[in-house]
């Protein structure tokens, strides 16, 4: 795992709330071991995260590296990742997510306990009340993980967590209006209704439709970002003095 991958991994953990704002990171030796990387690679990643404003280092007694859950920094990290991935990569990622999340919804409709269904509804209530875009994405990611857990499948839950690590980061850079958020929450409520009604086919179809729509949005966002980058590059080539201004 190179330092860029460590940056994405730790950035995702911050964005998903697995590592919370103000939390002290483990020692470099411990963190490097948990990520299965060398301390040199980890130090490069931490230096990058500090430059991005996602990690702050304090000296002296009680010092160390601490998380800074900056929405602006997370959004910029997301946009950088969206520029890197191609449209084919995004579509393939969407295919995998549709398979995992759709199957989880189908199995949840067959296996979920009433308490788990109620938890899904409560999570959507928190999503509706969430103040910021990153917090909304974090709660929504948790909702999908909860569906996989309600499917009573450890492997599906692990796969969903891994997908949220990757997809969650991509979604931070995409904005939603209040109307779009309300429509998304309404769609998610229909999924829960299908699970509660023990209708696996409908639960799966609704989730797959949602994933297809999100994948299309990510592809569009990627195209907009890369076009914007090309326009800036063209402008710099046309006015070379701008590069040094």
Distance from C-alpha of 176 to C-alpha of 226, rounded to nearest angstrom: 20
pLDDT at 233 over 60: no
- For residue 21, the tally of other CB atoms under 10 A from its CB is 11
Note the pLDDT tens digit of each residue in 120-134: 999 999 999 988 777
Q: Which of 44-48, 152-156, 216-220, 231-235 has the lowest mean pLDDT?
A: 231-235
Note the pLDDT tens digit of each residue in 52-99: 888 998 887 777 889 988 878 888 887 888 888 889 999 999 999 999
Res. 239 pLDDT band, cuts 50 70 90: very low
Distance from C-alpha of 67 to C-alpha of 87, rounded to nearest angstrom: 31
pLDDT at 197 over 90: yes
Q: Which of 33-47, 176-190, 230-244 has the lowest mean pLDDT?
A: 230-244
The model carries a pTM of: 0.79
Distance from C-alpha of 101 to C-alpha of 15, rounded to nearest angstrom: 20
Residue predicted with more confidence, 13 or 190: 190
- Average pLDDT estimate for 138-142: 90
Res. 232 pLDDT band, cuts 50 70 90: low
Above pLDDT 90, what percent of the chain? Answer: 52
Distance from C-alpha of 239 to C-alpha of 245, rounded to nearest angstrom: 11
- Average pLDDT estimate for 214-239: 70
- Average pLDDT estimate for 143-152: 96
Burial class of residue 85, CB neighbours in 10 A (0-12, 13-18, 19+): middle
* Six token digits for residue 239: 């006015």
Q: What is the pLDDT of residue 85?
A: 85
* Six token digits for residue 92: 């393939």
Q: What is the pLDDT of residue 236?
A: 43
pLDDT at 188 over 60: yes
Note the pLDDT tens digit of each residue in 33-50: 998 999 999 999 999 999
Report the mean per-residue pLDDT for the chain: 86
Q: What is the pLDDT of residue 38?
A: 92
Stated as kind and residue range, the H or E segment containing 206 is helix 200-238
> Which DSSP symbol is given to 24?
B
pLDDT at 195 over 80: yes
């Amino acid at each position: 795992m190179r330092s860029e991958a460590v940056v994405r991994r730790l950035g995702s953990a911050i964005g998903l709330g697995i590592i919370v704002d103000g939390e002290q990171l483990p020692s470099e030796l411990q963190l490097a071991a948990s990520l299965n990387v060398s301390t040199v690679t980890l130090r490069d990643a931490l230096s990058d995260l500090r430059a991005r404003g996602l990690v702050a280092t304090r000296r002296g007694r009680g010092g160390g590296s601490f998380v800074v859950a900056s929405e602006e920094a997370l959004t910029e990290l997301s946009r950088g990742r969206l520029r890197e991935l191609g449209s084919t990569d995004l579509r393939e990622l969407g295919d995998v997510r549709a398979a995992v999340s759709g199957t989880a919804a189908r199995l949840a409709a067959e296996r979920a306990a009433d308490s788990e269904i109620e938890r899904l509804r409560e999570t959507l209530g928190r999503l509706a009340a969430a103040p910021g875009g990153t917090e909304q994405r974090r709660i929504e990611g948790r909702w999908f993980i909860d569906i996989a857990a309600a499917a009573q499948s450890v492997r599906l839950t692990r796969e969903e967590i891994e997908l949220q690590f990757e997809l969650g980061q991509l979604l931070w850079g995409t904005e939603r209006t209040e109307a779009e958020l309300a429509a998304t929450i309404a769609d998610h409520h229909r999924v829960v209704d299908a699970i509660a009604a023990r209708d696996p086919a409908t639960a799966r179809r609704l989730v797959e439709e949602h994933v297809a729509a999100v994948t299309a949005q990510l592809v569009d966002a990627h195209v907009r970002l890369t076009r914007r980058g090309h326009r800036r590059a063209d402008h710099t080539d046309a006015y070379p003095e701008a590069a040094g201004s």
